[in-house]
Each structure stands twice: as C-alpha cells, then as structure tokens.
Structure 1
Amino acid sequence: MSLLPEHLRQSLIVNWELMIVAPEAGVCPDLYPEVKLFAPKGCAIWLLTELNPDTNVAFGLCDLGLGQPELGYVDLNELEALAATDGFEIQVDLEFDTHTPLSKYAELAKTAGRIEDW
C-alpha cells in the first residue's frame, strides 16, 4: 500500500533531485510543502517537501502532536506499516495547497507548538 498518489510522489522526488544539485549551484532553496499527511483520529501532521526514491524517506515538518514540531525525516515505509495497523489511519490531504515555504511553516509551528491551518 502506498500512502502517496503517484503525481505527489513524483513532485517530492523532483524536489529531492533539486536539493542534490542545489549546493553545487551555490543555492539553498526554501521549498514549499508538496504533501500534507495527517492522522484523522489523532493530531499528527507531516508537511513534506522531498522524497528520496531509493529509501522512501521524506523530509519535511513533522508534528506528532507532542507540542514540539520539528524539521526532519520520516520513513514512509514505517508510516505505511503504521497505517496498515488496525485502528491507525493516515491520509493525504488532497486539497492541500500552499504558497508558503517550509521555513515559514516551521517558524509558525514552533511558536504555536503545533502545525495549524494558517
């Protein structure tokens, strides 16, 4: 089972490839989240910007609902395994659209102690 529709997966991979060449070009892009995952029966939210297709590990802003959202990596294989567990559901917000870079989400989440719908 894959959490991500193929078009979103490909968007994340394109960003991952961009981040590989960016340091060589002398730039550090502030990417916009491409994907929002959430647990409807909990308070976990992940705003993802990139995905390594070889490892299925994504980067983004991760909020497990503990009051300490942070930038980091999440293994989508582990999330998919959790989603297969009885009673735990993870969904993709197919209506998620942003015009805000990840750094701004991280700044606001740090102040609020959680990812909110800004």
Structure 2
Amino acid sequence: MPLIPEHLRQRLIINWELMIVAPEAEIETPDLYPEVKLFTPNANAIWLLTELNPDTNVAYGLCDLGVGQPELGYVSLDELESIATDGFEIEVDLQFDTYTPLSKYSELAKAAGRIEDW
C-alpha cells in the first residue's frame, strides 16, 4: 500500500510540475507550502514534503531524522515505504495544515534543531 494517499500525492506532483515550468516560463520560482507531513510515532523523524517526481517517486522537502540536523533535500518514497514494511512505522499526518512556506519551516527548524509544531 502506498505511503501517501492519492489525493495528496497528486498535490505533490502538481507542485513538481510547477517547479519545472517556472524557469521555462521565466517566472520566479515559487516558495511552496508543504503538502504532506510524514512522521515516525516513536523515532522523532519528520518529513514536510512539497513536491514529488512521479517518474522516480522521489520527493523534495524538509527532512528531520530526529538527530538535530533538519535539512532541505530529497527522499525516496520507495525507500520509506520499504522501511515501513520492515516494521518501522511511518505515518501521514492527515490533520496537517500548513501555514507558511517551506523556507520559513526550514528557518525555524534549523534554529530549533528540529521540526516542531509551531
């Protein structure tokens, strides 16, 4: 079973397409808002994702593995799904409601050393 529900997956793909079109259309690259929050209930890892390449199943966002070094980067959903099937719980926060662009989440997380519920 896929880690991310289809309706959220589609929102990530739309953002990925937007990020491709922006430079080609010579418009400013948007500062996207996270669409999906993944987390581990018992391991303090959190991923705030903004976009997804549907061809590679690689997402982009703010990644916090719970070790005090949150960073922007890419994560393979295939790898996360394989970890989740090995007994390591990864959940989608269906109540997540974004309020700020990813750059602001990144700034706050780097200052705090982790992604917090602000």
Which TM-score tier does this pair reach, normalised by the shorter chain?
over 0.9
Q: Aligned ranges for residues 70-81 of structure 1 at < 5 Å?
A: 70-81=71-82
Q: Give the equivalent residue in structure 2 for 1:31.
A: 32
Deviation of the 1:25 alpha carbon: 2.4
3-state DSSP class of the match of 2:100? coil
In the alignment, residue 70 of structure 1 is paired with which amino acid? E
Gaps of 5+ in 2: none
Gaps of 5+ in 1: none
3-state DSSP class of the match of 2:30? coil
Q: Aligned ranges for residues 35-114 of structure 1 at < 5 Å?
A: 35-86=36-87, 88-114=88-114
Q: Give the equivalent residue in structure 2 for 1:9.
A: 9
Instruction: Work out the CA distance in 1 between the residues paired with 2:35 and 2:93.
Output: 10
3-state DSSP class of the match of 1:36? strand
In the alignment, residue 8 of structure 2 is paired with which amino acid? L
Moved over 6 A (4+): none
Instruction: Work out the CA distance in 1 between the residues paired with 2:107 and 2:30.
Output: 16
Deviation of the 1:28 alpha carbon: 1.1
3-state DSSP class of the match of 1:117? coil
Instruction: Work out the CA distance in 2 between the residues paired with 1:69 and 1:76.
Output: 18
Identity of aligned residues (%): 79
